[in-house]
């Protein structure tokens, strides 16, 4: 009998009009676990995150954090301890890195609007602590020197890291990352893998959506595969990447080839950096926004 999960999704279904985007999807995330969620475009991965974070109210099923059913209200879910990043980066572009992280911090602070009107000592102390914590988190994600930069001026990979810092500022128990390495070069991808390990070390359980399967198989303890809104297979990376259904529906190559790729990746990492990691570049419009399918 395994320990109770920190996050549990129980038979979550999501129907949009005539389209069933998710059908009875369940998930168990254990404390200290890094869980990968993979599947083809349109499989329902982001929709599932939207259900886990209260952005969507599932048509059936529910989501529990440490045994308590979560409300379908994103702000309340954040306060309860589930934080996320978005597939299409959502930062405040005209605010600095520090200010963006402070927005996450304030989602967690108890002081109401009246406190900020009177600016008493408790308010000042709270603000100072929030700033210190935000700076610490920027340092943690590797953006310590960029605290004064406007978010819109940061390179793309740094914007993704800033979103992670902002999510961590809410003191989550669970962090959900929707394609955290999309658009990153191999070095940034590897830095992100190490960052996710470091986040786990701080006691936060993580769910990661990614298309880069080498990244997922070398990062996660457990992998769930969604295809057409249904959970096709779940298990350890070894089990999942050898499953004929996953190979047919998603990987499109034989297990020994996938195995060799993952081994090669591990060796490259051990020898100072993966040169050959395939990074799927998101399609972006002129303003740098992602769009379209890969």
Ligand X SMILES: Nc1ncnc2c1ncn2[C@@H]1O[C@H](COP(=O)(O)OP(=O)(O)OP(=O)(O)O)[C@@H](O)[C@H]1O
Burial zone of 192 (CB within 10 Å; 0-12 exposed, 13-18 middle, 19+ buried): buried
Does the protein bind Mg ion through residue 53 (CB under 5 A)?
no
Residues in contact with ligand X, total (CB under 6 A)?
13
149, 135, 161: which is closest to 95 by C-alpha? 149
Does the protein bind ligand X through residue 21 (CB under 6 A)?
yes
Does the protein bind ligand X through residue 41 (CB under 6 A)?
yes
Q: Are 175 and 204 in contact (CB under 8 A)?
A: yes
Q: State which residue, 84 or 133, has the beta carbon closest to Mg ion.
A: 84
Provide φ and ψ at 24, rounded to 5°.
50, 50
Q: How near is the Cβ of 246 to Mg ion at its closest, in Å?
A: 18
* Helix (H), strand (E) at residue 121: helix 121-140
84, 231, 243, 229: which is closest to 166 by C-alpha? 84
Pick the piece of the chain touching ligand X (CB under 6 A) from 16-24, 72-80, 265-273, 274-282: 16-24
Measured at the alpha carbon of residue 105, what is the angle toward residues 99 and 110, in degrees to the nearest 5? 130
Does the protein bind ligand X through residue 19 (CB under 6 A)?
yes
Which token pair is 199?
A: 């986040």
Q: Which of 9, 43, 151, 174 binds ligand X (CB under 6 A)?
A: 43
Q: State which residue, 212 or 261, has the beta carbon closest to ligand X.
A: 212
Which token pair is 57?
A: 């109210």
Q: Which of residues 26-45 bind Mg ion (CB under 5 A)?
A: 45
Q: How near is the Cβ of 129 to Mg ion at its closest, in Å?
A: 35
Out of ligand X, Mg ion, none, what residue 130 binds, judged by CB under 5 to 8 A for its kind, is none
Three-state SS for 57? Answer: coil
Q: How near is the Cβ of 265 to Mg ion at its closest, in Å?
A: 23
Task: Round to the nearest angstrom and report the end-to-end CA distance of the chain.
Answer: 41
Pick the piece of the chain touching ligand X (CB under 6 A) from 23-31, 38-46, 187-195, 263-271: 38-46
Q: Which of residues 68-127 bind ligand X (CB under 6 A)?
A: 87
Does the protein bind Mg ion through residue 46 (CB under 5 A)?
yes
Provide φ and ψ at 48, rounded to 5°.
-65, -45
Does the protein bind ligand X through residue 18 (CB under 6 A)?
no
Q: In the complex, which residues of this chain contact ligand X (CB under 6 A)?
A: 16, 19, 21, 39, 41-47, 87, 293
């Amino acid at each position: 009998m395994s320990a109770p999960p920190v996050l549990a999704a129980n038979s979550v279904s999501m129907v949009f009009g005539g389209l069933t985007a998710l059908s009875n999807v369940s998930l168990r995330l254990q404390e200290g676990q890094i869980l990968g969620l993979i599947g083809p475009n349109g499989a329902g991965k982001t929709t599932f995150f939207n259900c886990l974070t209260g952005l969507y109210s599932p048509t059936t099923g529910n989501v529990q954090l440490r045994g308590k059913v979560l409300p379908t209200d994103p702000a309340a879910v954040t306060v309860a301890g589930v934080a996320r990043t978005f597939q299409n980066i959502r930062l405040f572009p005209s605010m600095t890195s520090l200010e963006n992280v402070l927005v996450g911090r304030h989602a967690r602070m108890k002081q109401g609007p009246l406190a900020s009107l009177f600016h008493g000592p408790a308010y000042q102390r709270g603000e100072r602590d929030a700033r210190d914590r935000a700076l610490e988190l920027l340092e943690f994600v590797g953006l310590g020197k960029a605290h004064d930069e406007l978010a819109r001026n940061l390179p793309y990979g740094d914007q993704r890291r800033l979103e992670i810092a902002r999510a961590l500022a809410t003191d989550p128990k669970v962090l959900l990352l929707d394609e955290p390495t999309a658009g990153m070069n191999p070095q940034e991808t590897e830095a992100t893998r190490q960052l996710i390990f470091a986040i786990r070390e701080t006691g936060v359980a993580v769910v990661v959506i990614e298309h880069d399967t080498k990244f997922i198989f070398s990062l996660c303890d457990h992998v769930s595969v969604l295809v057409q809104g249904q959970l096709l297979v779940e298990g350890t990376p070894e089990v999942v990447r050898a499953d004929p259904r996953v190979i047919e529906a998603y990987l499109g190559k034989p297990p020994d080839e996938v195995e060799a790729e993952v081994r090669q990746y591990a060796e490259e990492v051990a020898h100072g950096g993966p040169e050959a990691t395939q990074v799927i570049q998101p399609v972006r419009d002129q303003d740098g926004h992602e769009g379209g399918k890969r």
